[in-house]
Structure 1
Amino acid sequence: MTRCRLCGSAALASVVDLGATPPCESFLAADRLDLPEPAYPLHLRVCTDCWLAQIPPLITPEDTFQEYAYFSSYSTSWVEHARTFVDGAVQRLGLGGESFVVEVASNDGYLLRHVVDQGIRCLGIEPSVNVGAAARDEGVPTLTEFLSPDTGSAVRAEHGPADLVVANNVYAHIPDVVGFTRGLRALVADDGWVSIEVQHLLTLIEENQYDTIYHEHFQYYTVASAIRALESGGLTLVDVELLPTHGGSIRLWARPAEVAGEPSRRVAEVLDREKAAGLQELSGYAEFSARVAKVRRDLLRFLIEAAERGETVVGYGAPGKGNTLLNHCGIRPDLLAYTVDRNPYKHGRFTPGTRIPILPPERIAADKPDYVLVLPWNLRAELVEQLSFVHEWGGRLVFPIPELSIVEVKP
């Protein structure tokens, strides 16, 4: 990478180098275990002109999203998060039977199903064929396509302008930030709203959430860099909410520049927090790499010592972030016998790079391991409750992020 993908500057500074890993969602079928597996550098840098943190675009969205292993509906808390958002947006924006809502990267319809339930016309734009089909099966109209300015214009011409465009957990997934943002502007009505949820770089740095750095995530936003990105497509940030999702996210409310008006006080407050954390100067990033290395050492020390004591450790979940962690730490089945996942698509497959088997969740109760390493640590509250049964044999939960934590669950 030689230039920033947002502003074109060559002033890129290293934040953390995680080596080379396979794409995090490239789960391996058993018949591919003896075949070569490509790996790509995973090196986060920050532009010291516009402060957009980014990795090189070494894989394309087409490589990842034509068929996708992630189905949002398998997370109970995430479906509830979507329902709460829809209820709030309907009230905040006065949406009703005459309104039109578009969600970009709508996955399996986990969010738009709530829009359908309220009798509001909607459309999902989802590039992955398999999860888009699942959305249509649930009654959510879905277009199989990547968003571009042309796609946005075509949807607007056919369906009319959208009163609300939702883009949750996708603004980091697109290498062409400017083109995607122009696509959002093409979709939204001239007096409409755009809502974007994306992980907050502030919490990523402060909470050692380095496992959310992976090849699907091309960039990592502060509110300051998001303002610059939105402006590139003719949108203006008018409000921001801080969310607990994914360990700490921002919900950006934007409007076409012509009608945006002055931003809320919350925008200035978050900008002040980011500046105080040093995220608009290199000092804010200086210690991150060392803290990442400590997470790796602590987790490996725990796994090695457990193995030497003859104790069993298995995983819970096979999220993309987990594969960054497993590969960076060099964890193999000798230290983590297997992991389980609620998504049947992943059963019988193996984690990329580390080749750890992925099994149905029922295996934990059958095998009664000493420890369960929770890879989707961002769902901690939900999973502590789901896994409370491990207390029956004295099992404990292990959370690796932001620091190693061993939890004795209670019934």
Structure 2
Amino acid sequence: MKHCRLCGSSSLASVVDLGATPPCELFLTTERLDEPEPTYPLHLRVCTSCWLAQLPPLIRPEDTFTEYAYFSSYATSWVEHARRFADDALDRLNPGFVVEVASNDGYLLQHVVARGVRCLGVEPSANVGQAAIDKGVPTRTAFLDPATGAAIRAEHGPADLVVANNVYAHVPDITGFTQGLRALVADDGWVSIEVQHLLTLMELNQYDTIYHEHFQYYTVASAQRALASGGLALVDVELLPTHGGSIRLWARPVEVAGGTPSRAVADVLDREKGAGLEEIGGYSEFGERVAKVRRDLLRFLIDAAEAGKTVVGYGAPGKGNTLLNHCGVRADLLAYTVDRNPYKHGRFTPGSRIPILPPGKIAEDRPDYVLVLPWNLRDELIEQLSYVREWGGRLVFPIPSLEVAP
């Protein structure tokens, strides 16, 4: 990677090098276990000109999202988060037409449909989009770019509210995607974007959220620059607990945005500067903190195996595959993992090739430890897995530091 994808600078500095791994959502079928898996470098760098943290664009979005393994609705707390957002936004903005980009299986727009508000989902994965259509959510299969945005606007009219949750990191052409958002939104409309916050990623060692389908990681400062590149101005920001720490960016077309952004924007910008995220020194110790997570998890798994204890996993999220591959975990240390998504049952995690089974397997086998891979759903999963305590089993959380729950 020679140049920053946002500003074009060649001043890129290493943040952390996680080696080479397969794409995190390409789960293997039994038939593919004897076939080679392509791996790609997973090396996060930061541009010292605009401070956008980024991965090289080694994999095209079309390779990942044409058929996708992630269905948002299997995360109960995420669906509830979406419902609260939808209700608040509809009450406050009273939009006549809502468009969500990367609308997945209708996890959010189903709440808009229930309120009787006209809406449209734009989802690149046909298999996931079909699940939304089956719920009654109008959905168009497409990747967003300026032409797609203009075509949708011409057919359906401008959107009063455009939502883009957990997609702004997934697009290598930031400016083109932002121009697509601008094409969708009405000249006096609103754009709401949720994306993981680089500040909490760094502070809480959330390095497992670094994977190939995430092309960049935003601070509010770098997101503000990215939005401006496509004709949108940041006007407000909210700090959210989702995905271990996210930002909700509120933007409007530059023509109507007005003057200075909200006080919340200024406050977060000050926090980011205070954490050193606009100077190279702020990134210097991250690699060692990542290495400690790896050492601690491996030590726990090896000690458990030598003591004759059984350890299985819960969840098969993309972030889990970064963790398992970086740590070199295989089925001798983690017998299997389970997941609520039937799409993944009978498949194997990429690289580590750990079997993925239905959740009922845990109660059947009564393991000593359950390694929770979607740690961002901690509260939800502590409740869902409370039955593990019935036989003295314990939950293990690897991030931000190893914790064996009582």
TM-score, with normalisation over the residues of structure 2? 0.99
| Residue in structure 2 matching 1:250, options 228, 247, 252 | 247
C-alpha separation in 1, matches of 2:129 and 2:363 = 33
* 1:77 counterpart residue number: 77
* 2:271 counterpart residue number: 273
Corresponding position: 1:337 with 2:350: no
Question: Over residues 318-365 of structure 1, what are the superposed CA-to-partner deviations in whole Å (9 max), with x where a residue is unaligned?
Answer: 000000000000000000000000000000000000000000000000
Question: Over residues 93-143 of structure 1, what are the superposed CA-to-partner deviations in whole Å (9 max), with x where a residue is unaligned?
Answer: 123xxx000000000000000000000000000000100011000000000
C-alpha separation in 2, matches of 1:91 and 1:344 = 35
* 2:42 counterpart residue number: 42
How is 1:108-127 mapped onto 2 (pairs within 5 angstroms)?
A: 108-127=105-124
Runs of 4+ in 1 over 2 A off after TM superposition: none
* 1:158 counterpart residue number: 155
How is 1:335-374 mapped onto 2 (pairs within 5 angstroms)?
A: 335-374=333-372
C-alpha separation in 2, matches of 1:94 and 1:133 = 28
Helix, strand or coil: the match of 1:102? strand
C-alpha separation in 2, matches of 1:341 and 1:394 = 22
Shift of residue 197, structure 1, vs aligned partner: 0.1
Helix, strand or coil: the match of 2:250? strand
Shift of residue 92, structure 1, vs aligned partner: 2.0
Corresponding position: 1:141 with 2:138: yes
C-alpha separation in 2, matches of 1:139 and 1:163 = 21
Q: How high is the sequence identity, in percent, across the aligned residues?
A: 81
* 1:299 counterpart residue number: 297
The one-letter amino acid paired with 1:238 is V
* 1:388 counterpart residue number: 386
C-alpha separation in 2, matches of 1:90 and 1:361 = 36
C-alpha separation in 1, matches of 2:103 and 2:125 = 10
Helix, strand or coil: the match of 1:259? coil
* 2:8 counterpart residue number: 8
Helix, strand or coil: the match of 2:351? coil
The one-letter amino acid paired with 1:82 is A
* 1:58 counterpart residue number: 58
C-alpha separation in 1, matches of 2:289 and 2:186 = 45
Shift of residue 91, structure 1, vs aligned partner: 1.9
Shift of residue 283, structure 1, vs aligned partner: 1.1
* 2:209 counterpart residue number: 212
| Structure 1 residues not aligned, in runs of 5+ | none
C-alpha separation in 2, matches of 1:166 and 1:296 = 36
The one-letter amino acid paired with 2:164 is A
The one-letter amino acid paired with 1:222 is T
C-alpha separation in 2, matches of 1:390 and 1:316 = 12
Shift of residue 250, structure 1, vs aligned partner: 0.1
| Number of residue pairs matched by the alignment | 405
The one-letter amino acid paired with 2:241 is P
